[in-house]
Amino acid sequence: MKSIFQQLSYHILSAVSLSFVIGIASTSLVQQLPISPTAVITVLGFLFILIALLQLLQKKQTVISLILFLFFGIGFLHTQLGSVPPQAKIHIWNTIINKQEGVIIGTLLSMPEYNETTSKIIVSAKYLRLSNWDTFSPAIGKILLRMEAPWPAQFLPGDTLILRADLKRPTSYNSPGSFDFSQYLARKNIWITGFIRSPLFVKKLSENTPFFHQMRF
């Protein structure tokens, strides 16, 4: 047993990194349990104080064990906090409750992905107008958008675009062991997805476009 702790002490960085990764992975296994972030933070605080006290008492083996538990908990908390829905009122997640058509003004964040049938892009929203709104309103949040066509080559990351799309919250199946798509996106800070029906529904806005939040599209 002593040799195990000696090996852990020699490779402590690898050990805590592995504990952190396992903590992240474990979140999906216990996501149905009512474990609040506040409770996790409380436990981590207690562990930190306990580690400090045991370090003073030179209980090295116990300290190493608790450090691994601490980083496991940090990894768990990191993922758990990333799964908490946004609270800002202007965040698109708090606006899009049910599937509906909308017009987004936002920044293209990265190069599009294309798999021969579907293009995928991520846009950071600035303004939003739903089908039953008269004007644009400020909005924040990242949106994953799909389009069943090649992405127009003239639109590049950093461009400000105006896009018409069907928007909705991502859904997941609750079957045990199934892939949780919504939680996967939440960890990437993406809370809304959408479908662009045609490349004609994507246009670039120039920097000197006046009062573009009042535009019709």
146-180 tens-digit pLDDT: 999 999 999 999 999 999 999 999 986 655 556 67
Q: Is the pLDDT of residue 122 over 80?
A: yes
For residue 137, the one-letter residue type is: S
Confidence of residue 214 (pLDDT cuts 50, 70, 90): very low
- Nearest alpha-carbon partner for 92 in 134, 123, 132: 123
Distance between CA atoms of residues 211 and 208, nearest Å: 9
What's the pLDDT tens digit per position in 17-66? 888 888 877 776 665 566 777 888 888 899 989 888 888 888 888 888 88
On whether the CB atoms of residues 125 and 141 are closer than 8 A, the answer is yes
**Least confident among 29-33, 89-93, 116-120:** 29-33
The residue that leads in pLDDT, 71 or 203, is 203
Q: Could you tell me how many residues make up the chain?
A: 217
Q: What is the mean pLDDT of the chain?
A: 84
Q: Where are the alpha helices (DSSP H) in the chain?
A: 2-10, 12-26, 37-56, 60-82, 181-186
Q: What is the pTM of this model?
A: 0.68
- Which residue would you say has higher pLDDT here, 104 or 81? 104
Predicted confidence at residue 213, as pLDDT, reads 45
Q: Note the maximum CA span of the chain.
A: 71
Q: What 3-state class would DSSP assign to 137?
A: strand
Measuring CA to CA, how many Å separate 83 from each of 33, 87, 103?
Answer: 14, 12, 26
What whole-number distance in Å separates Cα of residue 80 and Cα of residue 33? 12
